A and B are shown apart, each in its own frame.
Chain A
Amino acid sequence: MSIQTPAPAPITATGTQPRNHDGQAIAITVFSTIKLWGRVFLPVLFFVTRRIPKLTGTLRQLSFIHFARWTVIGKLPYNGPPQKKGRFRYPHMYFESNFNGGWEEYIDAFSHILTDGMTAFWGSSYGFPKPLPTAPFKRYIQDNETEADHYYCAYPEATSTMIQRSLELDKKLVALKRDARRMDPDAFAAAYRRFLTDAQNAL
């Protein structure tokens, strides 16, 4: 029996290259070359997923993934000489995403949970090995991944889940402060307990 290509072992605590993370957030940037049929298929796929948000509901539920974005690029913006003008011979898929946690866990989520979606988005790329099994998929992503030159996070201490929950908490806290002015001590005690119960997952 043959042996799988080894899955990459963590390079840093986050499992990715040092310049790919800032604070709690990790960036991933992957380029792949698209087969000709992808030029026709992918715009249709992008159109459909934008029109039917339900299709990407699972991706949204995985709160450790901030966002995932697939773009087809046919040429690079012209920045003047010595760059040559013109289009790529083949279009390329430009994938970018930000997430919290480990690189391995991130790719595992794509492999095991978003299996069909991954096949739809990457199936037309050359060399794509299918999302499962995970070892060749991880190898593919790692081989096509580009380390960021610069990556910046506005809130390095926080993850996107923490920021979202802090925003929810802020609304509740503002409301409590507003209402508290009209409360006697007993009413405030009861309101405070309600607030703690209601906001406990943001505290």
Chain B
Amino acid sequence: MASVQIDLGDIQGDILRAYGNDYDNTTYAFVKIECPPEQARAWFHGVVDHVTTAETWPPGEKPLTTLNVAVTAPGLRALGVSEDVVGSFSREFRAGMSSRSELLGDVGPSDPNSWEPGLGTGDAHVLLTINAKQAADHQRALGKMKEAMDAVGGLRIVYQEDTELLPGAREHFGYSDGFAQPAIEGASDDKARGGGVPLKDGKWRALAAGEFILGYPDEDTRVDPKKRLPNAPAAPLGRSGTYMVWRKLYQDIALWRRVMRDAAKLYEGGDEHLLSAKVVGRWTNGAPLVKYPDEEPRGYDPKTAEDVNDFRYDGDVDGMRCPLGAHIRRSNPRDALAAVAGPKGVIGFDGHLSFRHRMIRRGMPYGRVLPEGVTEDDGVDRGLVFVSFQGSISRQFEGVQVQWLNAGNIFGLGHDKDFLLGDPHGTGKMTIQGKPPFFLAPQEVFVRTRGGEYLFVPGMTALAALADGTAG
């Protein structure tokens, strides 16, 4: 496919390229519109003027704060968008995340009935995401946001999550996170090795931009002689936009530590560090187990290490290095699906079964760190705000959640679900392949969904149309 020119000025920031770890503070504020659409659009106009785009910043000129906007289906209606136009959005977006709870495994303690107030109820209309380098900038930006809302009236924050980068850019389980991102044609072609589609002969290629940004050719367009574009909302909303998944995931760190500590007593000379790495598929410093199966490499920096994401599973079909059910192998199986070792080597399908289920992840941890060594819960709310961007929520986010994390069959793992995120369903366990294997049990509920929304992140032209009331 001819190289694609992406109109960065029309796309919101932090999607194709991450803002980076310079921004320590992130606030997610969900606003409910309780005023008539015209009044709401007056406020929205002011917001849109300050939105950060995907245009690259000159060196050393990163802004102190950034602002981005996303809307839910009820939010589109509250801004006065017609039912016809709302109907052009995908079915799952219109239905909302809470209506998909059974499909997503949001059951038991993760049931939407026990979510944080304001989430999953139809009250969250507009999501404002504010990033700031420093706490003072952060407070100033939040102040401005509230001032603008008060000036118009009829607008209320129904849920707000303030997050802060953890020391060493880790998440609460203690792992470096976020470097396995899809390589996108026209934006991150240089990350194709490991981030793109694994091809035969060890080559990789970047994914079509339309897998993530609507209005651009996607992987289906690539093989379509008519070069049709992926399904998208009615113009101008469909151009340069993307669907966003937002989930607040509580992590029970004390419970995780206790389960790992107790299980390790029976495992490989009590090696708790190795056992935890087997569950995740990486060492805490981010080094992938499939490359470093025996011990954590010293001085490994995931930001600079070339092999942090450049790997396949064809040399580890039996999971002896990285278990078949390891978290990173389930959530991004690369060439692993349905691959079998035969007498003439591995017969697999390269990336053919996985390449249409990739997503861009931009999560942030929330809550204070549980001090090292503490194994009793201190009652602090902590976890991860999971954010993903994709062209199709059902194919990409839900596909991964339902078929790969909450089911084991495609990996030959029976009823086993992802050990970190899956619902333990009474008999949950994880097989750590080995000679002999180790059966990690019991599985507990380490992660609980505390709320979430399906959103749409419009492009800049689309935002202006929403603000002007000309989106249809």
Query: What residues make up the interface of A, taking CB atoms closer than 8 Å to B?
Result: 1-7, 9-10, 12-13, 24, 61-64, 100-102, 104-105, 108-109, 112-113, 132-135, 157, 159, 161-162, 165, 193-194, 196-197, 200-201, 203
Contact = CB atoms under 8 A, between A and B. Distances in A.
A108 B356 CA distance: 9
Given A2-B229, A134-B356, 19 more contacts: A3-B229, A3-B231, A6-B231, A7-B392, A10-B103, A62-B338, A101-B403, A101-B407, A102-B403, A104-B394, A108-B353, A112-B352, A132-B223, A133-B220, A133-B228, A134-B220, A161-B412, A196-B436, A196-B437
A194 B103 CA distance: 39
Residue with the highest number of chain B CB atoms closer than 10 Å, among A113, A132, A133, A135: A133
Contact of B231 (A4, A161, A193): A4
21 contacts: A2-B228, A2-B229, A3-B230, A4-B229, A5-B231, A9-B92, A24-B409, A64-B409, A102-B399, A102-B403, A112-B349, A113-B352, A133-B228, A134-B356, A135-B220, A161-B414, A194-B436, A196-B436, A203-B431, A203-B437, A203-B439
Given A196-B437, A197-B436, A197-B437, A161 B409 contact: yes
B225 to A, nearest CB: 9
Interface string B83-113: 0000000111000000000110000000000
A156 B356 CA distance: 29
Nearest to A24: B409
B344 interface: no
Contacts, number: 117
A109 B353 contact: yes
Contact of B353 (A7, A113, A194): A113
B353 A112 contact: yes
Contacts of B310: none
A132 B347 CA distance: 22
A64 B403 CA distance: 12
Contacts of B407: 101
Contact of A13 (B92, B103, B227, B231): B103
Closest 9 pairs (CB-CB, A-B): A6-B231, A133-B220, A200-B437, A196-B436, A133-B224, A9-B91, A4-B228, A132-B223, A112-B352
B129 interface: no
Contacts of A63: 338, 412
A132 B394 CA distance: 20
B395 A7 contact: yes
B431 A61 contact: no
B418 to A, nearest CB: 16
Contact of B431 (A4, A165, A200): A200
Interface residues of B, number: 45
Contacts of B437: 196-197, 200, 203
A102 to B, nearest CB: 5
Contacts of A133: 220-221, 223-224, 228
Contacts of B431: 200-201, 203
B409 A101 contact: yes
B18 interface: no
Given A4-B228, A102-B402, A61 B347 contact: yes
Contacts of A135: 220, 228, 230-231
Interface in B387-441: 392, 394-395, 398-399, 402-403, 407, 409-410, 412, 414-415, 431, 433-437, 439
Contacts of A62: 338
A135 to B, nearest CB: 5
A108 B352 CA distance: 8
Given A2-B226, A101-B407, A101-B409, A61 B340 contact: yes
